[in-house]
Every structure is written in C-alpha cells, then in structure tokens.
Chains A and B, each alone.
Chain A
Amino acid sequence: DQQVKQNSPSLSVQEGRISILNCDYTNSMFDYFLWYKKYPAEGPTFLISISSIKDKNEDGRFTVFLNKSAKHLSLHIVPSQPGDSAVYFCAASTYGGATNKLIFGTGTLLAVQP
C-alpha cells in the first residue's frame, strides 16, 4: 500500500523554465511533508518542507504547495537549472510522534536540458 505516490517517474524541462513535481498521499494523519533531492551515488539531501498548517513555503527558487483537501503537494523550481537534474523524493510524516520515520514516494527523475 503506497501511502505516498509520485506518479511521474520522470520529467524533462528546458533550462530557465519552471519544473513542477507532484506528489499525492492517502493517509490523512500525515501533517508534515518534505522534499529530498538525490544525485547518483549520493544519499538524499533535504530540500524544503511544509507543515499542514500552511499551504505554501518558499526557499529561493523552490516553492512547495500543499492542498490538504486534495491530499496533494507539488514542488515548483523556478527557474530550472541543469544542476537541478536529480531524483526528487516526496516524503511524509506525522509531526507529533517522537520518530524520524518518513514515508517516501518512489521518486521523480528530473532532467533539465541546457
């Protein structure tokens, strides 16, 4: 049972354009969401997060939007750069628990073409 889903295995965009990566979840108990970025042969690195009390969080070129009613979140990268080419994982957790357990999606491979 995949509680966090990333339905697009891959995405290709031109440099300078917007990249939009999508994520859906099924568990309404999730109240904290994160995006991680992973390059080959490296571990995932934290990118940006959002709690369920917000619907938007920005950090530089990265913005995450949360639609709780639709159980959907998206990551916008503007403008996209070739160095953004990586696998992006969406993850969810319940903030109230004393645990670092994260439920990850299957990832989206982003390719930014120069």
Chain B
Amino acid sequence: KAGVTQTPRYLIKTRGQQVTLSCSPISGHRSVSWYQQTPGQGLQFLFEYFSETQRNKGNFPGRFSGRQFSNSRSEMNVSTLELGDSALYLCASSRGPGEMREKLFFGSGTQLSVL
C-alpha cells in the first residue's frame, strides 16, 4: 500500500509569491491534516479536512488556505509568501477524523524556502 505522497519535495520561492502544495493520502483514507514544522516551534496544526469539508483550523493567518477534493487528495496554498513561511509542510492522513489517532500517517513533507 502506497504511503502518503507529498509533492513537490522541495520548493524555492521569493517573498510575495504564492505556492500550492499537494498531498495524496493513503488509499481509503478520507481525512487529511496539514502541519507546519519549523526548528523553534515543532509541528503546528494548520487545518484538517474530511469529505471535502474543513473540520478544524489552526491559528494561522488567512494567507494559509486549503481544500480537499472528492478523491480525498488535498492541496494547501500560501499566498503573499513571507520569509517566516520557510518550513517543512507535512500532510497526514487517516481513515476518518478522531479515529484512533495513532493511525495518523505522515508524508515526508514539502520543504519550502522563501528567499
């Protein structure tokens, strides 16, 4: 069974640009969550989707948005990039929301560098 796939693996952008990151969950998984990892902050929750609906949102500005498609694939978008947005963005999938949290499977992430 293929794991969680995130594309691209690496991305370099400049301030003011926008970026879209993609996540394909494990087959059969319908819940997708996004996290931002930075050296000083650890992993911070961005948002969670299930059945194309955002179920939960973290404390991030409106420049961060996401969506989920009918095939459970998800994208997140960051507009007007700032230097502080440089981070590893991780996607995680599970069968459903709140269902055995230990069964949250993470992708390898997209490393975004903003210059």
Residues in chain A within 8 A of chain B (CB atoms): 6, 32, 34, 36, 41-46, 49, 89, 91, 93, 95, 97-107
B40 proximal to A (CB < 8 A): yes
13 contacting pairs across A/B (C-beta < 8 A): A6-B42, A32-B101, A41-B108, A45-B106, A46-B104, A49-B101, A89-B43, A98-B55, A100-B48, A100-B92, A100-B98, A104-B35, A104-B42
Q: A46-B102, A98-B55 are in contact. List 18 more A-B contacts (CB 8 A).
A: A34-B101, A41-B108, A42-B108, A43-B92, A43-B105, A89-B42, A95-B98, A98-B98, A99-B97, A99-B98, A100-B33, A100-B48, A100-B92, A100-B104, A101-B33, A101-B48, A102-B101, A104-B35
List of A residues within 8 angstroms of B99 by Cβ: 100
Q: Name the distance in Å between A25's Cβ and chain B's nearest Cβ.
A: 13
List of B residues within 8 angstroms of A89 by Cβ: 42-43
B106 near A107 with CB under 8 A, answer: no
List of A residues within 8 angstroms of B45 by Cβ: 101-104
A44 near B101 with CB under 8 A, answer: no
In whole angstroms, what is the CA distance A89 to B35 when docked? 13
Are A43 and B106 CB-contacts (below 8 A) given A100-B33, A100-B94? Answer: yes
In whole angstroms, what is the CA distance A99 to B98 when docked? 4
Interface core residue of A41, A43, A99, A100 (most chain B CB under 10 Å): A100
Which of B43, B58, B94, B98 meets A44, CB within 8 Å? B43
Q: Name the distance in Å between B65's Cβ and chain A's nearest Cβ.
A: 17
B66 proximal to A (CB < 8 A): no
A93 near B101 with CB under 8 A, answer: yes
In whole angstroms, what is the CA distance A95 to B56 when docked? 15
In whole angstroms, what is the CA distance A89 to B42 when docked? 8
A104 near B108 with CB under 8 A, answer: no
In whole angstroms, what is the CA distance A34 to B94 when docked? 15
In whole angstroms, what is the CA distance A21 to B52 when docked? 38
Give the 8 A-B residue pairs with the shortest CB-CB distance, closest first: A43-B106, A106-B42, A104-B43, A98-B98, A104-B42, A98-B97, A46-B102, A49-B102
Are A101 and B56 CB-contacts (below 8 A) given A46-B103, A49-B101, A93-B101? Answer: yes
